[in-house]
Amino acid sequence: MCRASEKSKPAEFPLAVALLILLGLTAPLVYAGKDVSLSDVPQAVRATIERELKDAEIDDLERDKDDGKIVYKIEAKGDNDIKMRVAKDGTLLRKEEELDPEALPAAVLDAIKKTFGDMDFGDIERNFRVGRKSIYKIEGDKGDRQIDLEIAEDGSIVRKRVKRRNDDDDLPGDFRDMRRTFMQLRCQLRVVAIGDSRVEKGIDPQYFLGEENRKYPMAFSFGGDVKGVSLAQILVEDYFVHGPKMEWVVYGVSTRIFNRYYRSGSDEDEIRGSRVYSEDKARWATLPVSSELVPAGAVDNDDSPWGFDGDDGVDDDLEDDDERDDALDDLRKGRYKFDTKRFEFFESMIQALAKHNIRMLAFSPPIHPVSIGQPCTDDDGTTRDAYDEYVAKMNAFAQKYPNFYFLDVNKKGEHNIEHKCFHNLDHLNRKGAKKLTLMLNDFMKAVDSDRKKNIEKYSDSSGSAMLK
């Protein structure tokens, strides 16, 4: 219990603490989104606001800081919602305004009429940025099609996306997403990567090809959801071969996909029985080839614009003793039997690609170096003998088909990818993904340029040259 004298004693308050509190209380009054009234803003700002808003009523007015400069953010409501940013000197920096169809300029309406005829309008927004022409963002419907447009004031169409409403609802969700992405990028894709989560987290397609791919994705990873050979066969034979610019299919061929004891969820029957799949197969010859490139920012994908979903950082989970012991336990349980039917599916893909002059680069996804010398080379139960047989089968395909290449990157764990490039036993982190992707990219460049010495160097069955 405290004594009365202690209760009545004034608390000591350090000067440094007082200064910190004072700064914390006063700093937002200067820059951090302070609400202000119209009478508080500079005259130039007020004039711009009154000119642009007309009869609209201000709902929110803030003074804030943007790139080190004072700006005023305004939200207003009238017949339509308006958002603006105005510089301290009164310059209108940005304005987003909802519009009714009758407020569209004649040139914009004419462009819509010529392209689609009559259509039902949805949301319309006029988007102004300082130094640029105004852009009209327009959503609408035409029959069973959903239309998304961006049109300049002079009527030139900046961006156009049209898709049938709910045309793929009968497809399994994962495949529906893959199909949508492929359809969006079909006319510009040159490289696609497929496989399981080892590809999703181990291949970063932004490092394929060159600088243009960083702006307009021409390489994309469909890894993560392509766990089985039969689903890969659908993608390759019924979709990828219809990419007019397709050059390479990069396939992370894990030994587990040929292991009869390893099974993954499969939706192949549901896909083949769907209306959309049947319609796709029937219309490839009539689909137009677009020369418009889809920029990275417009790619409709939850992960990166290149389909990469890797793990951040360079921490290696297996540095933890418990995680390491669990991994070693998984590598001691061997159970493997080759599924000949899956090999037939795999060979069918190679043949289908050959007919369209598309090459396949298959590689063994790297496993953490902790696997070196263990009874199993993968936690699915791949024995060391089974791994050797898998490599022999892949090399036999490489000898048989000129469009097929195989790189044994993993080498039963005896690769030169250091443990800090791994996130866990069988997944790389971002650093490792970049290293692996650049490695495969170098190989494809060597093949594409037909440099015989480099081809011999990189296609050495040991894979050692690739890892130096």
| Residue 358 pLDDT exceeds 60 | yes
Would you call 251 helix, strand, or coil by DSSP? strand
Residue 28 falls inside a structural domain: no
| pLDDT (mean) for 387-400 | 94
My answer on whether 192 and 339 are in the same domain is: yes
Tell me how many domains the chain contains. Answer: 3
My answer on whether 348 and 411 are in the same domain is: yes
24/297: higher pLDDT: 297
Q: Which CATH number do you get for residue 114?
A: 3.10.450.360
My answer on whether 345 and 445 are in the same domain is: yes
| pLDDT (mean) for 307-313 | 78
Q: Where are the beta strands (DSSP E) in 130-259?
A: 135-142, 145-152, 157-164, 191-194, 219-221, 248-252
**CA 204, 207, 210 angle in degrees (round to 5)?**
150
Q: What is the pLDDT of residue 424?
A: 86
| Residue 422 pLDDT exceeds 60 | yes
Residue 320 falls inside a structural domain: yes
Long-range contacts of 41-48 (CB under 8 A, 24+ apart): 41/72, 42/88, 42/89, 42/90, 44/88, 44/89, 44/90, 45/72, 45/86, 45/87, 45/88, 45/90, 47/90, 48/86, 48/90, 48/91, 48/92
Range of the domain at 177: 173-467
Tokens of 447: 């093949």
Would you call 69 helix, strand, or coil by DSSP? strand
How many residues appear in the chain? 468
My answer on whether 431 and 367 are in the same domain is: yes
My answer on whether 208 and 239 are in the same domain is: yes
My answer on whether 240 and 331 are in the same domain is: yes
Q: 192 and 232 in contact (C-beta within 8 Å)?
A: no
Give the sign of the dihedral formed by CA 196, CA 200, CA 204, CA 205.
positive
Q: 136 and 126 in contact (C-beta within 8 Å)?
A: yes
My answer on whether 389 and 363 are in the same domain is: yes
pLDDT digits (tens, 9 = 90+) for 77-135: 877 889 999 999 999 999 999 988 888 999 999 999 888 888 888 889 999 988 888 89
Tell whether pTM > 0.85. no
My answer on whether 432 and 335 are in the same domain is: yes
Which residue type sits at 189? L
Tell me the pLDDT band of 2, cut-offs 50, 70 and 90: very low
The DSSP code sequence of 5-48 is HHHHSPPP--HHHHHHHHHHHHHHHHSS-EE--GGGS-HHHHHH
Residue 29 falls inside a structural domain: no
| Residue 168 pLDDT exceeds 70 | no
My answer on whether 241 and 135 are in the same domain is: no
Q: What is the pLDDT of residue 143?
A: 66
Residue 203 falls inside a structural domain: yes
- Average pLDDT of every residue of the chain: 83
My answer on whether 112 and 89 are in the same domain is: no
What are the backbone angles phi and psi of residue 235, rounded to the nearest 5°? -60, -45
Q: What is the pLDDT of residue 463?
A: 43
Q: What is the pLDDT of residue 131?
A: 84
Token look-up 């677009």 returns 290
My answer on whether 191 and 135 are in the same domain is: no
Q: What is the pLDDT of residue 278?
A: 87
**CA 312, 315, 319 angle in degrees (round to 5)?**
155
Beta-carbon contacts of 199 under 8 Å, excluding residues fewer than 6 positions away, are 193, 221, 223, 224, 226, 250, 252, 365
Q: 163 and 187 in contact (C-beta within 8 Å)?
A: no
| Residue 238 pLDDT exceeds 90 | yes
